Amino acid sequence: MMNSMTRILAPFLLAAALLAHTQAQTATPTKRSIPYADDGHARHVLDIYAPPNAKNLPVVFWIHGGGWQAGDKSDVGVKPQWFMEKGFVFVSTTYRLLPEVDMATLIRDVAKSFGWVAKHIAEYGGDPKRILVGGHSAGAQLAAILCTDDRYLKAEGASFDSLIGSVPVDGDTYDVPAIIETAETRLRAHHFPPRVNGHREKFGITPENHKNFSAVTHVAKGKGIPPFLILHVADHPDTTAQAQRLGAVLKEAGIPTKLFGGKGTNHSKLNNDLGLPDDPATKVLSEFVAAILKK
């Protein structure tokens, strides 16, 4: 009887789940495309999602992925709704992309956006002293560098004092020299031609640039680096190795750090499923959020 009933209800339950998923995905920003710079560039804008009557709530500053060459602030999946239900204001930013600008300029764009949030988010119900920085893929690298190399925030009148946590999701460039060596060795070993626009070109051809844009280079005790939750796909060798490398460096510096490898998922799904009921990575994220808010 129960099996028959389950079969009868299954299509309706699936439809309800899909409807809830769609509604969460299409959550409307409270304010859309707010300029964070005065130059009028189309990508110098951000979206804000705030719960009704928001006041002095912790803030999520989210950085989209896309290989530093694509992506948009609308690429947030169900995360804004999930975080609002947790009592956060959610901010999603865009930034100029390669090859229009170089990597240093791109990072400074993200820092400028963060600086705007630190100055203005209280007007939208957020607490500028409690900001969680997260991002996926290229956005994971940008989140990690923003939370380890304090020069970028200082240039915008902000500091690590405002950070309560960092959540990079499935990045492969926390240690840029390592991923360059890994990728190029793999190509040589299999007699494949070099990539036309690989990590070496994206980050600048000099070894100094590669180290400078690596979060692991800047981790040190006493800097005020916030706690990290590093999410990655468990069976992806590159993002797993990079997550473990960043995690080891952070832990060695005494920074609270948790790694979680998602099983049965992939690079896009891990990110897109964050905020869905029964998602394993979301459960870990929920625990992380609860812990950092207690401090």
Which tens digit of pLDDT belongs to each residue from 180-234? Answer: 999 999 999 999 998 888 899 999 989 999 999 999 999 999 999 999 999 999 9
pLDDT of residue 157: 97
User: How would you classify the pairing of strands 45-49 and 89-93?
Assistant: antiparallel
Spatial neighbors of 49 by CB under 8 A, at least 6 apart, are 27, 29, 30, 80, 81, 83, 84, 89, 90, 91, 92
Q: What percent of the chain has pLDDT over 90?
A: 88
**Per-residue CA distances from 212 to 104, 134, 155, 231 (Å):** 10, 20, 16, 23
**pLDDT score of 23 more than 60:** no
20 compared with 167, residue with greater pLDDT: 167
Helix (H), strand (E) at residue 22: helix 2-25
User: In this model, does residue 264 exceed pLDDT 90?
Assistant: yes
User: What confidence score (pLDDT) does residue 12 get?
Assistant: 42
| pLDDT (average), residues 11-22 | 43
H or E stretch including 224? none
Conformational region of residue 183, where left means phi above 0, alpha means psi within -120 to 50, and beta covers everything else: alpha
Residue owning tokens 């791109």: 106
pLDDT at 51: 96
Q: What pLDDT score was predicted for residue 174?
A: 98
The answer to whether residue 19 scores a pLDDT higher than 60 is no
Closest CA to 95 of 112, 78, 82: 112
Q: Has residue 17 got a pLDDT over 60?
A: no
* Tens digit of each residue's pLDDT (9 = 90 or more) over 158-182: 999 999 999 999 999 999 999 999 9
Average pLDDT for 267-284:
97
Task: For residue 123, count other CB atoms closer than 10 A to its CB.
Answer: 9
One-letter identity of residue 163: L
pLDDT, position 295: 75
User: Would you call the peptide bond into 99 cis, given omega within 30 degrees of 0 as the criterion?
Assistant: yes
User: Would you state the pLDDT for residue 26?
Assistant: 53
CA angle 26, 28, 31 (to 5 degrees): 150
Question: CA 251 to CA 38: how far, in whole Å?
Answer: 39
- Percent of the chain residues past pLDDT 70, beyond the cut: 91
Helices (DSSP H) in 128-236: which residue ranges?
138-146, 151-154, 176-189, 199-202, 207-212, 215-218
> What is the set of domains in the chain, with CATH numbers?
29-175+214-294 (3.40.50.1820)
Pairwise CA distance, residues 151 & 145, whole Å: 10
Does the pTM of the predicted model rise above 0.85?
yes
**Burial class of residue 198, CB neighbours in 10 A (0-12, 13-18, 19+):** middle
State the residue for tokens 């979206």. 47
Task: Kindly state the helix (H) or strand (E) to which residue 32 belongs, with its residue range.
Answer: strand 31-35
